[in-house]
Chain A
Amino acid sequence: MRRAIDGGCGAMLAHISAYLDGELDAAECSTIERHCRTCPRCAAVVDGLRRTIGLCRNAGKAPLPDPVRRRARQSIRRLLAAEAIPRKADGATARRSRRRRGRRGGRS
């Protein structure tokens, strides 16, 4: 849906998130950019929000502290090892019963 951005500070600030998220069309974007060229306050808000979003996105990409990551890996390996034992046992049981069925089939 097309939004009316009249070029004033209030309308500009109401659409700023949509602008930063790339949700506005070319005409709406150029209205905002034109406004920012003549309004240092709004230009500062846009720059500040860009920095804030960038900071959050970088924080989301940072790997966890090494000790936490190490403990996470250890618990995964413990879980996978514990789950592998019953599976191996299940497999051995299935092989034994297949052999038994095979022997019975051979006799008849």
Chain B
Amino acid sequence: MEELLLRAQEAAFRFSFLVCGHTQDAEDVMQDALLKTYRYVGRIREPEAFRTWLYRTVRNACLMKRRRRVDEPAHMVSIEQGMPTGDGGYAAVDLEDPAKAPDEAAMNAWLGERLRAALRVLPPSYRIIVFLREMEGLSTREVARVTGISEANVKTRLHRARGILREQLEGA
């Protein structure tokens, strides 16, 4: 059970970090995946169904994060001043724990700076295909189920994405 939950969290972290480029949010998405997998785990019948369910769940969690970011206020509040409480007072601002943010050097050591930079050049709709197919080892059919596009479309996008990545990595 613990290993399955760890795998779900790892997949969530990689997805959030590599596909969405959310370094700061990756661990929140991991937490979300952990709770949802824990609730879902009793219903797992086939490994393939679990994998597509997991990546769909993580994808939705990442999209929700992005939507929340769009809704953020237009102006920022001073940390020293704090948030207005409505009764004329000010409350302390909650800061993100810097210990939770994985540092750039550790992330580059993990993935390789060149590959990270090359992945950033890909359009998001191609990046998700490369991630699921090449990095996570999903079949074309599984990738089509997660992304909601046809298998033929998955193959086309993968073919183009590989070409772009090769050019970026080899400077062709």
CB < 8 Å: which of B34, B163, B172 contacts A75?
Answer: B34
- A23 → chain B closest CB, angstroms: 9
Docked-complex contact A51 and B169, CB < 8 angstroms: yes
Chain A residues touching B, majority SS: helix
CB < 8 Å: which of B34, B106, B107, B112 contacts A76?
Answer: B34
- Tell me the complex Cα distance, A55–B5, Å: 27
Known interface pairs A55-B169, A72-B10; A62-B111 also in contact (CB < 8 Å): yes
Q: Does residue B6 face the partner (Cβ distance < 8 Å to A)?
A: yes
**B129-172, CB under 8 A of A: which get 1 and which 0?**
01000111100000000000000000100110011011001101
- Tell me the complex Cα distance, A45–B164, Å: 12
Docked-complex contact B134 and A68, CB < 8 angstroms: no
- B13 → chain A closest CB, angstroms: 6
- Tell me the complex Cα distance, A31–B5, Å: 46
Chain B residues touching A, majority SS: helix
Docked-complex contact B9 and A72, CB < 8 angstroms: yes
- B6 → chain A closest CB, angstroms: 6
Interface range, B side? 35 or more
Docked-complex contact B115 and A60, CB < 8 angstroms: no
What are 17 pairs between A and B in contact, CB < 8 Å? A49-B162, A51-B166, A52-B162, A52-B165, A52-B169, A55-B115, A56-B115, A62-B110, A67-B102, A67-B106, A71-B100, A73-B6, A75-B9, A75-B34, A79-B5, A79-B34, A80-B1
List the interface of chain A (C-beta within 8 A of B): 16-18, 45, 48-49, 51-53, 55-57, 59-60, 62-65, 67-69, 71-73, 75-77, 79-80, 83
Known: A48-B172, A73-B2, A76-B5. 19 other contacts (CB 8 A): A17-B162, A48-B166, A49-B162, A49-B163, A51-B170, A52-B162, A52-B169, A52-B170, A57-B134, A59-B111, A59-B135, A60-B14, A60-B135, A63-B10, A72-B10, A75-B9, A76-B2, A79-B34, A83-B38
